[in-house]
């Protein structure tokens, strides 16, 4: 059983890496600015979210929605092609995106709430 879990974990990590590589770059200038000012950040669930209390521009919100729609399409395809649950792909990719955001000094939400690494 433990061996099967290790194999599943390794396979899942590989598919998440593939999903990350396949993420389309939908972000525009408004979204980039909103992320830099911590109005929009990465969530542990694999999608961008508006930070509570922030007021991102309508353009930034539109770009966020476009990015999230593109991500979802990649996640669905990855899950289907690898025989795993969509929620697994979303969560594992989200974990990687949060680490990436933290390293880039952007805002992110893990299970403990919104943070900005400095």
How does pLDDT run along the chain (118 residues), one tens digit per residue?
A: 555 445 455 555 655 565 555 555 556 899 999 988 889 988 889 999 999 899 999 999 999 999 999 999 999 998 898 888 999 999 888 888 888 877 776 777 776 677 775 5
pTM for the model stands at 0.76
As for how many domains the chain has, the answer is: 1
pLDDT at position 7, please?
47
pLDDT at position 64, please?
95
The residue assigned the tokens 């922030």 is 54
Q: How far apart are CA 84 and CA 74, in angstroms?
A: 13
Give the domain range for residue 8: 2-116
57: DSSP letter: -
């Amino acid at each position: 059983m433990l061996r099967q879990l290790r194999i599943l974990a390794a396979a899942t990590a590989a598919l998440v890496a593939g999903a990350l590589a396949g993420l389309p770059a939908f972000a525009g200038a408004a979204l980039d600015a909103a992320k830099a000012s911590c109005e929009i950040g990465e969530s542990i669930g694999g999608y961008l979210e508006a930070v509570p209390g922030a007021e991102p521009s309508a353009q930034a919100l539109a770009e966020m929605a476009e990015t999230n729609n593109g991500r979802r399409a990649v996640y669905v395809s990855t899950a289907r092609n690898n025989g795993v649950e969509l929620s697994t792909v979303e969560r594992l990719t989200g974990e990687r995106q949060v680490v990436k955001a933290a390293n880039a000094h952007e805002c992110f939400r893990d299970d403990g709430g919104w943070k900005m690494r400095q």
